Structure 1
């Protein structure tokens, strides 16, 4: 009988990073994969799954209008408990630091099911930044049985917390797997956005700055400062196109459209599916983002990135890297973006291709360790 693996995710970033692993596990001899979605980002989630040719086996449909984190947690715990009771998995896989990840791990722990934590060991050391993600990943780390750390730094964080060394595997980040797979697919098929896509209006001869912003810790003043910085840059550089796929969260929509509407060279567009977003990253001259995933992806394709956060769980690159932590101060964002738009020598130094977060083979490493661990456990259980 194959080992039964249940993979749980609910947000778009989780789906992107779990999709390449799901593709590997579906074809790994001796493993049977079940994908369970909590549906936190249902529409955006479907876009990702379609891009990677995957389907959800179980959709919990737990989201309701105006739901609090506690309300979501309650619903997740009830529905996941029922799902685990029915499926009786040999292991539950969760990713990163979302509420879905922690509650899925907790539900598995209550049923004494083994837990594998993908992208384990990221830390800022501050429970309030990012909130609630820092607590979610720390709490998940306490009850996980297998820790798939993306980097040596993440492994070191786990070891400092007394996680047994033989339960940690340094794998690289599956987000880099996803990016490189999609880039290769697009290059092989000469993929381009369709003529009716909102991206078709972009002029290829003009430089483009890609912006994203959605983190809870930036809601309010932080997001407003980011938008005001983008507005200043758009006025200063009328020949540059500023493209902002606006997250569906009402607080993000209100802030972005409130500040950035009606500027000719600012393009506020709907969230893009993964194929279109990867194309946008490849097309961009510079990226401004508060996304942890983009912090890992941008270096792999040589795109300078200004990280719009005050702290980050990804280790900062040494001087001369492609990523610069600038926070949400309007003047700092404008200053550093202007430098990269004006200084060709600085831009050349920050646009080199390198990959400190993975080589595109993290999913295979995770699958191999997962299978050998399950085999060894089965032998122990039979002894």
Structure 2
């Protein structure tokens, strides 16, 4: 490893299997870490210690359980309206205690949350190697998203191993002088999680959702799946998005919309604006098996999060990824990549209608490979961590076709 600014693994005592701590701070991180933990447990060359912490610890534990992965350590957080710096201080303290009680050979963090940043710093200060899953994501603007873009760059400074999902992400790291063998492109573990979730699917618990799926499979209707993170949408920003969905439903008479959303301000707003439309089903957040099953039969997906956007190409489903300034939009950079648009009513309705109307053409065309992963990202990630610990050769990088 040519970088002396980050710690190298300590030798493992003879006869002991090294323990690697995987830190999940919310449901989204849990989805991406679950396949890595499962790969470690299957191969038994390193022992995963799954730690859930932060505001989303309970949600992360539920998601992990859905993938058959047990949580080994729970570090709960009492927010009580505290500001982000004080919350981060609590996280650092709790994680430092956890790493002291059960010293890991390495710590795996995912993404750019405050939990990921706090776990990376707590491990670094204890001279434990940090492995960054989904490294190299950049907006190149420290103010957007804030503070996530700062977290991404700071984690990169202390990471001993960068696991990127795509060659583009590895290129972003190279621009910041993070290169060489310690950057491994493994693909997106969200794709692995999608395939695993679909294998676990049995049926929908909500009879309304099951009826929609049955109608889609029978060819009676088409489906637009809308997946939004309520925390990202204050009422003034959410209204144009929901208006765009309403316009879409009215423009496409054979279209059903399913909107899984947590109880709160966004759900109340959705009921006010969409509740009278008979072809809109608003339901509780769906477990991953149910969500991926719907995604796999959808004509289009509208979302503000990267996980469904990276899973959808595996099923030939186009995605509109919401983000950026209202009124702006861009076409996909390459096959399988999402369309992007700001929270603009007319743009959302127009692009999504275009994606829905091309559904029949896509069914007749040859499927394209998913540029974000092939379902083996978790195995590559587990092998790369073994390599970091001196247990095997470096794995081959994922190269999308």
TM-score (norm: length of structure 1): 0.88
2:375 corresponds to: 360
d(CA) in 2 for partners of 1:209 and 1:310? 21
d(CA) in 2 for partners of 1:183 and 1:32? 26
1:145 corresponds to: 160
2:189 corresponds to: 174
2:276 corresponds to: 262
- Whether the 8 Å CA contact 2:296–2:312 is kept in 1: the answer is no
Q: Cα offset for 1:80? A: 0.4
**What is the correspondence of 1:71-220 to structure 2 with a 5 Å cutoff?**
71-186=86-201, 191-194=202-205, 197-202=207-212, 204=215, 205-214=220-229, 218-220=233-235
Give yes or no for the alignment of 1:30 onto 2:45. yes
Cα shift readout 1:205-252 (whole Å, capped 9, x = no counterpart): 32111101227554343322111111222233343211111135x443
Structure 2 unaligned spans of 5+: 1-15, 393-401
d(CA) in 2 for partners of 1:154 and 1:101? 18
2:305 corresponds to: 291
SS across alignment from 2:127: coil
d(CA) in 2 for partners of 1:336 and 1:233? 9
> Measured at CA, do residues 126 and 256 of structure 1 come closer, stay the same or move farther in structure 2, by a change above 3 Å?
farther
1:380 corresponds to: none
2:249 corresponds to: 234
SS across alignment from 1:235: helix
> Measured at CA, do residues 50 and 111 of structure 1 come closer, stay the same or move farther in structure 2, by a change above 3 Å?
same
SS across alignment from 1:119: strand
SS across alignment from 2:144: coil
Cα shift readout 1:185-204 (whole Å, capped 9, x = no counterpart): 44xxxx3224x545224251
> Measured at CA, do residues 329 and 348 of structure 1 come closer, stay the same or move farther in structure 2, by a change above 3 Å?
farther
Give 2:319's match in structure 1, choosing from 305, 308, 322.
305
> Measured at CA, do residues 276 and 43 of structure 1 come closer, stay the same or move farther in structure 2, by a change above 3 Å?
farther
Q: Cα offset for 1:258? A: 4.0
Structure 1 unaligned spans of 5+: 378-383
Q: Cα offset for 1:16? A: 0.4
- Whether the 8 Å CA contact 2:248–2:353 is kept in 1: the answer is yes
1:339 corresponds to: 354
Q: Cα offset for 1:43? A: 4.9
1:328 corresponds to: 343
SS across alignment from 2:373: coil
d(CA) in 2 for partners of 1:241 and 1:18? 32
> Measured at CA, do residues 291 and 192 of structure 1 come closer, stay the same or move farther in structure 2, by a change above 3 Å?
same
d(CA) in 1 for partners of 2:281 and 2:254? 13
TM-score (norm: length of structure 2): 0.84
Give 1:282's match in structure 2, choosing from 296, 314, 329.
296
